[in-house]
Amino acid sequence: MNWNSLLLRSTMGFIILFFLGYLVPGLSALTITHLIIVSLLLAFLSTVGENIIIADTRAKKSILLLVVSAVTVYFYAWVIVGTRLPVVSVLLTTALITLLDHLFTAQNENSVTVEEE
């Protein structure tokens, strides 16, 4: 299991969900405790999913992260919190999480290749 990826995704998930809770309708129902739990849950499930499915390219990892985080946020809010979030809000949030994860992963891979040369 890649602990750096897990930590990065959970931190990004929390920050994005926290700030978009003020801007996007429906996400304000998630309290700080719920945000911590859902961000850790989506990071854990996406990291485990990468290991099970063996996502070897960045595109596969990004698609898997998008799907897992969308399902996690939507069903967590629906089952645990009791709020049905708008699908557009969930997709916007998870797309932002996926985009930032993709950019950080690309930056880390580029820095590793530059150091090796």
Q: How many CB atoms lie within 10 A of CB 32?
A: 10
pLDDT in tens, 9-49: 899 989 998 998 888 877 777 788 988 999 999 999 988 88
- C-alpha to C-alpha distances, 91 to 9, 38, 107, nearest whole angstrom: 16, 15, 24
Residue 53, burial from CB neighbour count under 10 angstroms (0-12, 13-18, 19+): exposed
pLDDT in tens, 39-73: 999 999 988 888 888 778 888 888 998 999 999 99
Q: How far apart are CA 28 and CA 64, in angstroms?
A: 25
Q: pTM for this structure?
A: 0.84
Q: How far apart are CA 57 and CA 115, in angstroms?
A: 21
pLDDT in tens, 91-114: 999 999 999 988 888 887 777 666
Structure token pair of residue 47: 């990291």
